[in-house]
């Protein structure tokens, strides 16, 4: 390891890319924990413990599975803070808040549809509880991220080199529109627009902004394709939230993941790193499948044939 010696980067080189990776893992583990706790049924567990009865093997397996992912949840949260990436931590915080709001809205909508909508007083209590949980998450994020705050105080965000060269990147984008300068052309085009007052150390091979670099290299094709891709995925995840019940967390996780990637891409190039892009694609594949799967069709063809033969 030669770069970012004071930051946790895992198997990646850049701490901002590592922060995006750990942020996605944080959202994934949080969704699995919530789904696992929803399947356990704590009333049955507490009643069995108070009665001195032994839990069934299936219930014990579910409890161990949920506990394992709780450990993973706090591990990824700690790893995210140790990256000391300001943009990555803020983007993950925004995505986590989005995930909580989606889950709260889905839970409230489910209660209204079932006729169990809470009274006005209980509704305010739920709002206060949700706000308290949100505040607790913010406190945990920034108490664990003291090094992130210290780095923000020592080095102002506007003293960062990426903000110094931003006007030059914008000028290059305007000159390359509407067709763009060509794929992977940023390292050769940008030096002509680089401001000497920002320093001449280092080679800028990426714009630290996925949207600006996409406009520079691909022109108007990039925003159209990115918008189409984002809208299609958002529609798929909304369908999953509205259609699925036990797997509703898949659509919520998908929207929160898109928010994380979209927010961090505005100040960094994490999505342009192959390792993270492949991980994000592998993460989206089962989420899209769960969102588009019709509810109630869990039996395999073998189980259905067996059931039909038994009925006959």
Average pLDDT, the chain: 78
Position 146 pLDDT exceeds 60: no
| SS3 state at 165 | coil
Query: What is 246-310 written as a DSSP string?
Result: TTHHHHHHHHHHHHHHHHHTTT--GGGSHHHHHHHHHHHHHHHHHHHSPTT----HHHHHHHHHH
**pLDDT band per the 50, 70, 90 thresholds, residue 112:** low
Tokens of 171: 């000028």
For range 193-217, the mean pLDDT: 82
pTM of the model: 0.78
* Each residue's pLDDT tens digit, 60-70: 788 888 889 88
| Burial annotation 147-162 (CB, 10 A radius, 16+ → b, else e) | ebeeeeeeeeeeeeeb
What's the pLDDT score for residue 310?
45
């Amino acid at each position: 390891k030669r770069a970012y010696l004071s930051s946790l980067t895992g198997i990646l080189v850049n701490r901002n890319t590592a922060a995006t990776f750990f942020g996605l893992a944080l959202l994934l583990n949080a969704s699995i924990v919530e789904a696992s706790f929803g399947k356990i049924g704590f009333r049955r567990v507490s009643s069995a413990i108070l009665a001195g009865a032994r839990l069934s093997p299936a219930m014990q397996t579910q409890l161990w599975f949920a506990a394992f992912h709780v450990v993973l949840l706090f591990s990824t949260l700690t790893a995210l803070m140790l990256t000391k990436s300001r943009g990555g931590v803020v983007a993950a915080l925004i995505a986590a808040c989005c995930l909580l709001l989606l889950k709260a809205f889905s839970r409230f909508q489910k209660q209204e549809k079932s006729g169990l909508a809470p009274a006005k007083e209980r509704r305010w209590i739920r709002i206060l509880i949700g706000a308290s949980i949100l505040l607790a998450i913010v406190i945990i994020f920034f108490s664990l991220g003291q090094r992130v705050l210290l780095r923000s105080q020592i080095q102002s965000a506007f003293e960062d080199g990426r903000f110094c060269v931003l006007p030059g990147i914008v000028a290059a984008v305007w000159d390359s529109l509407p067709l763009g300068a060509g794929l992977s052309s940023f390292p050769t085009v940008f030096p002509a627009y680089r401001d000497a007052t920002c320093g001449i150390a280092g080679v800028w091979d990426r714009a630290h902004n996925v949207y600006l670099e996409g406009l520079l290299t691909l022109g108007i094709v990039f925003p159209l394709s990115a918008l189409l891709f984002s809208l299609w995925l958002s529609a798929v995840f909304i369908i999953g939230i509205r259609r699925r019940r036990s797997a509703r967390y898949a659509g919520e996780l998908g929207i929160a993941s898109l928010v994380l990637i979209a927010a961090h891409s505005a100040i960094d190039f994490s999505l342009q790193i192959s390792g993270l892009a492949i991980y994000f694609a592998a993460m989206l594949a089962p989420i899209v499948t769960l969102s588009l799967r019709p509810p109630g069709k869990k039996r395999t063809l073998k189980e259905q044939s067996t059931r039909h033969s038994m009925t006959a």
